[in-house]
Amino acid sequence: MCGIVGYVGSKKATPILIDGLLSLEYRGYDSAGIATIENDVIKVMKDKGRVNNLNNLEGINDLVGTIGIAHTRWATHGKPSKENSHPHMDNSGKFAVVHNGIIENYSDLREFLTSKGYTFISQTDTEVIPNLIHYYYTNGPVSVIEDTKEKFLGAVKSAIYDLKGSYAIEVISTILPDEIIVVRKDSPLVIGKGNGENYIASDIPAILKYTKEFYLLDDNEFAVIEKDSIRFFDNSLQEHNRAIKNIDWDANAAGKDGFEDYMLKEIFEQPTAIRETIGSRFRLGEKCSFDDIEISKEYLQSINKIFIVACGTAMHAGLVGKALIENLCKIPTEVDIASEFRYRNPLIDEHTLCIYISQSGETADTIAALKLAKAHGAKTLAISNVIGSSITREADYSIYTHAGPEIAVASTKAYTSQVVLISILAIYFAEVLGSSSETVLEELKSDLIDLPSKVEKILDDTEVIKAFAKKVYAEKDMFFLGRGTDYNVALEGSLKLKEISYIHSEAYAAGELKHGPIALIENGVTVIGIITNPNLLEKSISNLQEVITRGAKTLIITNQILPNGHFDYVINIPETNPLISPILSVIPMQLLAYYISKQKGLDVDKPRNLAKSVTVE
């Protein structure tokens, strides 16, 4: 949701800024812009629409400045327009700002600044920020400071102190034309260290081609960035040191690598992502281990409940985790949507473990829910794909998937990696507690090890899925049915279809059909059934027979032997433990959503209205 890029060095900033914005397109946006300093004058180039539109703006090729900031905006205040696009400047033209997040008290600040003679061009909340900085630089308590560097930073700090909400902010000024000041709160921001040049971005992939050395800012932390130096300051502007992290992602992993779309590439990367996530965390005949955490038997025995909290696809991974933990560890487990969890007064205390799942580690609702749990004395554990992300820095414990960069907005390899990781975590807890037999756990480990080759087998033959997509792509409604973990993965399949094909779809527990949803089944409606648990085979077939008799056409994803002639299309997947079957059964549903979207001529990687990382509530 919105994207930030910044550069200071000796090269022309504009190509680097635009390249970074192109790398962030997957986050979702409606406008884009850059600002550079040209001969002590800030030049702003911005417009609504795609990043590539910037290349057509008059004068863009004349920019030669070696310092600049850039932004892709996803509208929260003000419709998409050139005026509402970032960057925004103050009335004097001395300060330019880009901002991710939401300023909740912007109306009050705008009223205050208007009373001081400031005027506004846009409808955005962001425009108050550069004007506040100018106000404090010229009128506030820092205006008496003689040192220009100290005065500039102090003015930014004073302005930030007035803001309520979430933000990641970059500031440049003609007053100090060789430095960028950045600050963040509840919105991601990273700094990439180069040789005689430095980079800023909201996501690591945007600048990964330029450096693998990163500083990860904490909330309420400032950084002053010049081409040869990066200085860090706390909320009181006390300078401190910050450790650098080496991010060993392959920069090419953020490219399409010959695939038509990022989503298809990431679907086919799932065998590798699963292998990387398993890594060295277990071998057959040995207990699971995590380098990141060590949890005692005494602590696990003291837990009376586990909450798994997440949003969207990550929440669906959590539903599979619930089944695993309850079956293997015998600990009651609830799964909550993060945006609801905070506001329902959940019963949390020191005997509660809260697990938070977020691909980016920057999901605002999930982070807020984590902070709530900590305030009530619960231990917190984060599952993320991004080392050093906000959620992992807030949590008591953190463990990481190793899916690599996921660029497409619709998550695929992040989901399967999350389910794999939470499976290993459940086995680890069970081994510590001694709550399941060694035989059961070893068999489950063996099934996990076999998953990558089984995913490859599914990906080797996609013709049935392509053929089905061609038959149903024009439909308006579809239904997904399953029982147990098959219902959990049906929710994810339905979400994928909605996200990228814009077809209305619903997922139901198959046993709930007669309690209302069957009224929606009519002749020609498509129903997708998932059947992977032999104990539920007969019940599932019986439920699906109910929709067939009402004229539905059916696609079944299964690893069971089905009666002949019952179903229109059947996709056979390899057998595995039903607890982890969603890792396999989701693959055909990912592909189905993809091929339907392509058949409709839609933008698969950047579906409308959606953003990769939801960093505001």
Q: Which residue's entry shows tokens 């997440």?
A: 310
Nearest-CA neighbor of 613 among 198, 334, 85, 205?
A: 205
Report the C-alpha gap between 448 and 442 in whole angstroms.
Answer: 10
Q: Which residue's entry shows tokens 């949507």?
A: 337
Nearest-CA neighbor of 318 among 431, 415, 241?
A: 415
3-class DSSP state of 183: strand
2 catalytic residue (yes or no): yes
Non-local (6+) Cβ contacts of 411 within 8 A are 312, 313, 314, 359
Quick one: which H or E segment has residue 548?
A: helix 537-548
Sign of the Cα pseudo-torsion (383, 387, 391, 393, in order): positive
Give me the catalytic one of 2, 288, 311, 354: 2
Nearest-CA neighbor of 403 among 277, 313, 292, 282?
A: 277
- DSSP per residue, 414-482: HHHHHHHHHHHHHHHHHHHHT-S-HHHHHHHHHHHHHHHHHHHHHHH--HHHHHHHHHHTT-SEEEEEE
Nearest-CA neighbor of 595 among 497, 527, 507?
A: 497
Report the C-alpha gap between 202 and 612 in whole angstroms.
Answer: 12
Burial 497-529 (b: 16+ CB within 10 A, else e): bbbbbebebebbbbeebeeebbeebeeebbbbb
Nearest-CA neighbor of 263 among 467, 500, 585?
A: 500
Quick one: which H or E segment has residue 504?
A: strand 504-509
Query: What ranges in 345-385 are assigned the alpha helix state H?
Result: 364-375
Q: Give catalytic residue positions.
A: 2, 612
